[in-house]
């Protein structure tokens, strides 16, 4: 039996930091409101000439170094992103060139904030079926490019960044199970309602921005994440106490606390980065994973529950034996 295992992680955040105090000068908001409602203190914003592929490259090189593999061994590249550098080619193909890799499949997955969980599941299935042995799986975003900096209900929430893992074939698991879901019925709760084919003029004049019904998204997120925790535990015949670390999508501390409560988990077993990174969409889970691997909290053999939800609406979870 072939499984896939995470053998290296990497993360990258742009140099420029934007604090809540700086946002107070741009929109009618306050540090107090942002901290209380979301837990966010600061976020990183890509420089004008810095792209999603740039962030992905930094994170990928760190993951490659951490795993100790030769980049030439990589035979699959998947990037979860909603903010690709260009309409096409995919950001994965742009990155493939930079890494000097030729010939292997390389593509992007668009599942908004659940993008990394979707990408990880796809890579795991390639490896389990023998179609790949060494996958580079990334979540990378420059969400700042699709924010309306006059809309206080969205611009305070998001940030830029990238997280990466190397996933290698292994006789031992690894990825224990993944559970992906979507319900397009809720597509209008969280969207950029313009693009290449619908209202292309908004794309051309730079007004294709994130719109969100925050309250509704909050309710659906808490419900769906609660259900997916049960689904993942049942599929693996595990009890709540068997999870060592929750590595959640970093959208909001109140949503994360609700999931931790559902797992009877104290917050000191939850990896929390939303305070420092804001919501980095598909980058948020691999970035949080990398932070906790590098600071030594997550150790080999630990059982991790990764989960995310986002536009679509999409949601998903992965159980990992690290
Ligand atoms: N600063 C100050 N006030 C703000 C504000 C801001 N940045 N954004 C909104 N407000 C105001 C609203 O206008 C509203 O004012 P009113 O009562 O006078 O009408 C008030 O704050 C409450 O707004 P509401 O939207 O009810 O707040 P909330 O408690 O639901 O918090 C979110 C808003 C966005 C933080 C919350 O709904 C949320 O986190 N939702 C989920 C979002 C999410 O996770 N999205 C990403 C999914 S991947």
User: Does pLDDT of 102 surpass 90?
Assistant: yes
Tell me the percentage of the chain whose pLDDT exceeds 70.
100
* Closest residue by CA, ligand 1 atom 14: 153
User: What sign does the CA torsion over 293, 283, 321, 262 have?
Assistant: positive
User: Does pLDDT of 320 surpass 90?
Assistant: yes
46-69 residue pLDDT tens: 999 999 999 999 999 999 999 999
Average pLDDT over residues 286-314: 97
Which residue from 148, 158, 187, 214 has its CB within 8 A of the most atoms of ligand 1, so it is best to mutate? 214
Average pLDDT over residues 135-150: 97
Measure Cα distances from 155 to 20, 148, 211 in Å: 11, 6, 10
- The class of domain 176-321 in CATH terms is alpha beta
Which part of the chain is CATH 3.40.47.10?
A: 3-172, 176-321
Active site residue 102: no
User: Does pLDDT of 184 surpass 90?
Assistant: yes
Which residue from 37, 157, 251 has its CB within 8 A of the most atoms of ligand 1, so it is best to mutate? 37
Mean pLDDT of the chain: 96
- Taking the whole predicted model, whether its pTM rises above 0.95 is answered as yes
Report the distance separating Cα 309 and Cα 306, nearest Å: 11
* Beta-strand pair 303-310/245-248: parallel
- Closest atom of ligand 1 relative to the 311 alpha carbon: 48
Residue 159: its H or E element? none
Q: What pLDDT is recorded for position 262?
A: 86
211-225 residue pLDDT tens: 999 999 999 999 999
250-292 residue pLDDT tens: 999 999 999 999 889 999 999 999 999 999 999 999 999 999 9
Q: How far is the CA of 157 from the centre of ligand 1 (A)?
A: 10
Identify whether the C-beta of residue 279 lies closer than 8 Å to the C-beta of residue 157: yes
User: Does pLDDT of 42 surpass 90?
Assistant: yes
* Cβ–ligand 1 contact at 153 (below 6 Å): yes
Active site residue 113: yes
User: What sign does the CA torsion over 288, 291, 293, 296 have?
Assistant: negative
Report the distance separating Cα 185 and Cα 187, nearest Å: 6
- The class of domain 3-172 in CATH terms is alpha beta
* Closest residue by CA, ligand 1 atom 42: 214
User: Does pLDDT of 206 surpass 90?
Assistant: no
């Amino acid at each position: 039996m072939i499984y896939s295992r995470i053998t290296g992680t990497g993360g990258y955040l742009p140099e420029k930091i934007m604090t809540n105090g700086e946002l107070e000068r741009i929109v009618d908001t306050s540090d107090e409101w942002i901290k209380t409602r979301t837990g966010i203190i600061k976020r990183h914003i890509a420089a004008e000439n810095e792209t999603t592929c740039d962030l992905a490259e930094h994170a990928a090189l760190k993951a490659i170094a951490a795993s100790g593999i030769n980049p030439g061994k990589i035979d699959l590249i998947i990037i979860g992103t909603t903010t690709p550098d260009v309409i096409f080619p995919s950001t994965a193909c742009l990155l493939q060139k930079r890494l000097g890799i030729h010939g292997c499949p390389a593509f992007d997955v668009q599942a908004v904030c659940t993008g990394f969980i979707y990408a990880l599941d796809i890579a795991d299935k390639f490896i389990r079926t023998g179609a790949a042995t060494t996958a580079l799986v990334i979540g990378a975003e420059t969400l700042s490019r699709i924010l309306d900096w006059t809309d206080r209900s969205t611009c305070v929430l998001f940030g830029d960044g990238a997280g990466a893992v190397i996933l290698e074939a292994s006789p031992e698991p690894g990825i224990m199970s993944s559970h992906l879901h979507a319900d397009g019925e809720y597509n209008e709760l969280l969207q950029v309602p313009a693009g290449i084919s619908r209202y292309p003029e908004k794309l051309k004049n730079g007004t294709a921005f994130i719109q969100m019904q925050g309250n509704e998204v909050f309710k659906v997120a808490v419900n769906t994440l609660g259900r997916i925790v049960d689904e993942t535990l049942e599929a693996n015949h595990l009890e709540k106490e068997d999870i060592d670390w929750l590595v959640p999508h970093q959208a909001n501390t109140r949503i994360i606390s609700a999931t931790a409560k559902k797992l009877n988990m104290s917050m000191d077993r939850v990896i929390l980065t939303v305070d420092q990174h804001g919501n980095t969409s598909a980058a948020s889970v691999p970035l949080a994973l990398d932070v906790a691997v590098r600071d030594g909290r997550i150790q080999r053999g630990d059982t991790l529950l990764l989960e995310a939800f986002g536009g679509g609406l999409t949601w998903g979870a992965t159980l990992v034996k690290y």
